[in-house]
Amino acid sequence: MVGRVSRAVGAVVLAIAAAWIAPSAAIAGPSCRLPRFGPGRDYRPHIEPSNFSPNVTNELFPLTPGRILVYTGIKDGKKALDLVAPTSRTRVIDGVTTRVVEDRNYLNNVLEERTSDYYAQDRCGNVWYFGEDTAELDRHGHVVSTEGSFHAGVDGAQPGVFMQAHPQVGRRFRQEWYQGHAEDVFRVVSRSSPVTVPFGSFRHALRTEENTALEPGVLDNKYYVRGIGEVAEVAVKGPREALRLVEIIS
């Protein structure tokens, strides 16, 4: 049914939700200097920890603790279910207190990947990405890879801009930088794209292009809606993959 997940999916969501949401403190901070796009080896954004807060309120990418966004679609030729849950937990990365967001990806009803992502917002409302801890699992739940994990400030890794407060069409940003491991890049291609997902239809979504030098044949479009955040991710080049928002559980 449009706008609702199955009882089985709902049970999975409720079973893990309590483990994700834990109490923590959040402090806002005061200058926002967005980095110019350039070669990774020269990419060194200036980070002043006191200018950041784990309270991510950007309208196009709000991270509201206690809310779970449910996506369904296809990945690797399998039915995909993706659960994204901003928690009330925080973690200090590169001196910055970040919001912990838990992400669980199921393929054919089996948990294939679990990730903790770390975001913070500067005083101007730009959202930055400070790293992730990710694990790929086998069918028995054993970790087989942590490739892609990184923390800004460790081993040359750097944070990146994930969402501008006032998105500029055509401007490119690194979302992350850890050479050879995490090199995602994005740019806004439209501030008013129509998009329809099971959760609803929207006439004025922000559409971005995202790619990485680590997968040169892959290009994704993502759609963001004010007050909600990401509503769809669709591969436009490379393997057929798509995730669309089905429900928001509060």
The mean pLDDT value of the chain amounts to: 89
Instruction: Assess whether pLDDT exceeds 70 at residue 14.
Output: no
- pLDDT cut 90: percent of the chain above it: 80
Asked whether residue 31 is assigned to any structural domain, the reply reads: no
Asked whether residue 30 is assigned to any structural domain, the reply reads: no
- Per-residue pLDDT tens digits for 18-52: 445 444 333 434 457 899 898 888 899 999 999 99
Asked whether residue 32 is assigned to any structural domain, the reply reads: no
Tell me if 176 sits within 8 A of 118, measured CB to CB. Answer: no
Q: Kind of pairing, strands 229-237 and 242-249? A: antiparallel
Tell me if 152 sits within 8 A of 43, measured CB to CB. Answer: no
Q: Give the CATH number for residue 15.
A: 2.40.360
Q: Residue 172 is part of which domain span? A: 7-25+37-249
Asked whether residue 217 is assigned to any structural domain, the reply reads: yes
Rounded to two decimals, what is the model's pTM? 0.86
Asked whether residue 68 is assigned to any structural domain, the reply reads: yes
The residue type of 101 is: V
Task: Indicate the pLDDT class of residue 7, thresholds 50, 70 and 90.
Answer: low
Q: What is the pLDDT of residue 10?
A: 54
Asked whether residue 2 is assigned to any structural domain, the reply reads: no
Q: Into how many domains does the chain fold? A: 1
Average pLDDT, stretch 221-239?
A: 96
Q: Give how far the C-alpha of residue 178 lies from the chain's centroid of Cα atoms, to the nearest Å.
A: 16
Asked whether residue 180 is assigned to any structural domain, the reply reads: yes
